[in-house]
């Protein structure tokens, strides 16, 4: 039986970015197919009682930065704690990932999501700007113009909305979230549990 993981994430989530490489390695090692499902984290929060970072209590905002610094140093992954362009609308980036999936498949979509996450969190680039999204796609070896054009189509927006509705229906409340065999694993710090679940198959 094929191992399939539904991956709900947001480009604006530093935790999604921090988990990308390890998640990709686990999926590869366990022979799992990843279904890439960027979603609107703001709507997920609204449905689940979560709050955007700026609306959280000050002590939680401060501790979030402490944890990000700890994980950055532990994993040895470049991470800018306060990217210049956040908060930002991730819609065009999310739709570009969806366009890549529709045109070229899940693996290419995952690679573009990783590149766009890196652009935000390691390179301090504005992925709300279509020109930046096009450039990142091109740097990832894709035809940036084709990706950007497809990202602007109604089908990409509809899939983004459907991913969000599906995430809410499946009790996702934050990003990243990994669903395997109906079981939810929330957060890049639960990847070891996901790996164990995959190993049991």
Q: Where are the alpha helices (DSSP H) in 76-143?
A: 91-104, 106-121, 130-139
Beta strand 183-186 with 177-180 is: antiparallel
Pick from 142, 52, 50, 38: which is nearest to 91 by CA? 38
Residue with tokens 């279904």: 35
* Domain residue spans of the chain: 3-199
What are the distances in angstroms from CA 120 to CA 44, 58, 132, 144, 153? 21, 23, 10, 17, 24
What value does the mean pLDDT take over residues 184-192? 97
For domain 3-199, the CATH class is alpha beta
Residue with tokens 């020109």: 131
Give percent of the chain with pLDDT exceeding 70: 100
pLDDT tens-digit readout, 13-39 = 999 999 999 999 999 999 999 999 999
Buried b (16+ CB within 10 A) or exposed e, 40-64: bbbebbebeeeeeeeeeeeeeeeee
Is 90 exceeded by the pLDDT of residue 86?
Answer: no
pLDDT tens-digit readout, 54-85 = 899 999 999 999 999 999 999 999 999 999 99
């Amino acid at each position: 039986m094929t191992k399939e993981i539904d991956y709900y994430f947001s480009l604006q989530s530093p935790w999604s970015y921090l988990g990308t490489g390890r998640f990709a390695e686990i999926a590869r090692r366990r022979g799992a197919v990843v279904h890439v499902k960027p979603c609107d984290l703001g709507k997920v929060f609204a449905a689940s009682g979560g709050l955007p970072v700026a609306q959280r209590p000050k002590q939680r905002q401060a501790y979030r930065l402490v944890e990000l610094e700890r994980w950055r140093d532990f994993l040895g992954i470049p991470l800018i704690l306060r990217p210049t362009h956040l908060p930002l609308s991730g819609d065009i980036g999310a739709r570009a990932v969806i366009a890549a999936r529709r045109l070229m498949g899940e693996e290419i979509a995952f690679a573009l999501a990783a590149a766009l996450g890196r652009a935000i969190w390691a390179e301090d680039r504005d992925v709300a700007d279509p020109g930046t999204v096009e450039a990142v796609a091109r740097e990832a070896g894709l035809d940036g113009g084709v990706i950007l054009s497809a990202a602007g189509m109604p089908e990409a927006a509809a899939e983004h909305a459907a991913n969000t509705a599906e995430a809410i229906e499946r009790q996702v409340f934050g990003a990243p979230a990994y669903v395997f065999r109906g079981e939810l694993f929330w957060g890049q710090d639960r990847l070891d549990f996901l790996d164990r679940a995959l190993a049991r198959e």
